[in-house]
Amino acid sequence: MPSFVDRVTLHVSAGRGGNGVASVHREKFKPLGGPDGGNGGPGGSVILRVESDVTTLLDYHHSPKRRAEHGGHGAGAHRNGGHGADLVLPVPDGTVVTDTRGNVLADMVGPGTELVVAAGGRGGLGNAALASSKRKAPGFALLGEPGDEIEIVLELKVVADIGLVGFPSAGKSSLIAAISRARPKIADYPFTTLVPNLGVVTAGDTTFTVADVPGLIEGASEGRGLGHDFLRHIERCAALVHVIDTATMEPGRNPVDDLDVIERELARYGGLEDRPRLVALNKIDVPDGRDLSDIVIDDLTARGLRVIPVSAASGEGLRELTFAMAGIVQAARAEKPDVETTRIVLRPPSADGRADFTVKETGEGWRVRGEKPERWVRQTDFSNDEAVGFLADRLNRLGVETRLVELGAVEGDTVLIGHPDNAVVFDFKPGLDAGAENLARRGEDSRFDESRPAARRRREIQEGLEERAEGETRADVARRLRDPARGGASGPSSYEIGGADDPDWAEQDPDA
């Protein structure tokens, strides 16, 4: 079982918002006391938070799917649903969050930094919130929205001040153990270190962290050995320290060639050319190691490098090395601005990149995309005709129907709203007829019931008002339209059941 994991793929799902409720207040002697349906609660969000005591992504390696809590449904008596609890996932300092295509979403540095990677769905409104002066008793409520669902990649890049690089068995782990309280595994065979080791070092008034990268060999940047997996952990280091083995028994190796090999791998990996370098010639406690160190120190110094002979076993030269590291760290910190704790919220762009909507003709029909239309469709209960009529009113006010007519859509055409994978399909029945206003009652839509005589009667009266004579009232227009002798329609018509004594007609015609 792995004990250190620095890259995982995580599938996160935010909570769904609760549904609003359609309810009517009832009490003794007051059976219809008005709408009192509460709103649904918002779903919980999935939040990544940097925690200083977390050093690995191991938990997410074992459990790669995480889900936040759903919001509660609304209830009568104006009771709103409860908020779904947020799911907070702790991650190590230096975690880079990307999507599955490699696009960087956030670089999380600094304890307390948060990333809302999946926002919870909004709760649906109850009928109390939907009531207005013209819609006094809505018989419907809005549904809660689903929460965001996303697959992300978490990649840990250790936040250390100094990075130790070098061949296997060069003594990097021994060096960290000698200058800090870290206790890495140490043995006399290559690739002893399988995970990056971190140590905290104090030199004078400066405290800094040191990390070593295991398994750097020739070809590491191309995937050989273990270095390819761990080179990312030195990207944030302020300086690099080459730990060179001066007492190696391998034939054909010498300190200068070892330095050149590692530098080539770092150059191929890229992005590390501007980091200051130190060279630690290790194992000078061995007689042959000290002799070889004396031979190559001038050549390395001539390259502009600061070279410090050290021995992790005897401690010789370690004080000079740690103070040299501290000097570089101090200079880097002075130039670097302070990292403040931030809270990052991912806001996915609208489906069409615009704030309103777009309409495009496709082989399947007219496709409507936009944040508002798609959200409104998700919130609609299609089993309730009044809710569907409310959706049609909203789309009409936004200008969707007008835009469809402008582009040439005709009655009966297929209209799809939403992403191609889960679009809602409608048959286009525009509420505009030659520019006339749709006079359906609030909460109703004539497109779902075109046979209502009262609706046709009101529409014809409204059209007749445009040609009325001076002093002619709305009631006069209605009588004229009913009287064939005055130019009205002959034969049986909807007006035969209406008139001045028709309650519905009188209600719509206050001048009668």
Provide the residue count of the chain.
Answer: 512
- What secondary structure, in 3-state letters, does 381-412 show? CCCCHHHHHHHHHHHHHHCHHHHHHHCCCCCC
Known binder of ligand: residue 92?
Answer: no
Give kind and range of the element (H or E) at residue 501: none
Contact (CB, 8 A) for 152 and 98: yes
Known binder of ligand: residue 95?
Answer: no
Tokens 């495009």 belong to residue: 360
Known binder of ligand: residue 191?
Answer: yes
- C-alpha distances out from residue 307 to 126, 193, 281, 319, 329, Å: 73, 25, 7, 14, 17
Known binder of ligand: residue 312?
Answer: yes
Q: Pick from 158, 385, 383, 164: which is nearest to 278 by CA?
A: 164
* Other beta carbons less than 10 A from residue 189's beta carbon: 7
Query: What is the C-alpha separation between 179 and 202, in angstroms, rounded?
Result: 8
Known binder of ligand: residue 90?
Answer: no
Q: Pick from 97, 106, 239: which is nearest to 162 by CA?
A: 239
Known binder of ligand: residue 64?
Answer: no
Known binder of ligand: residue 243?
Answer: no
Instruction: Name the phi and psi angles at 501, rounded to 5.
Output: -95, 0
Contact (CB, 8 A) for 359 and 399: no
Known binder of ligand: residue 172?
Answer: yes
Known binder of ligand: residue 509?
Answer: no
DSSP designation for 108: E
Known binder of ligand: residue 484?
Answer: no
Known binder of ligand: residue 103?
Answer: no
Known binder of ligand: residue 166?
Answer: yes
- Could you tell me the two tokens for 506? 């009188």
Known binder of ligand: residue 173?
Answer: yes
Known binder of ligand: residue 169?
Answer: yes
Known binder of ligand: residue 313?
Answer: yes
Known binder of ligand: residue 283?
Answer: yes
- Could you tell me the two tokens for 137? 């008793």
Known binder of ligand: residue 194?
Answer: yes
Known binder of ligand: residue 167?
Answer: yes
Known binder of ligand: residue 193?
Answer: yes
Known binder of ligand: residue 120?
Answer: no
Binding site members for GTP: 166-173, 191-195, 212-215, 282-285, 311-313
Binding site members: 166-173, 191-195, 212-215, 282-285, 311-313
Binding site members for Mg(2+): 173, 193
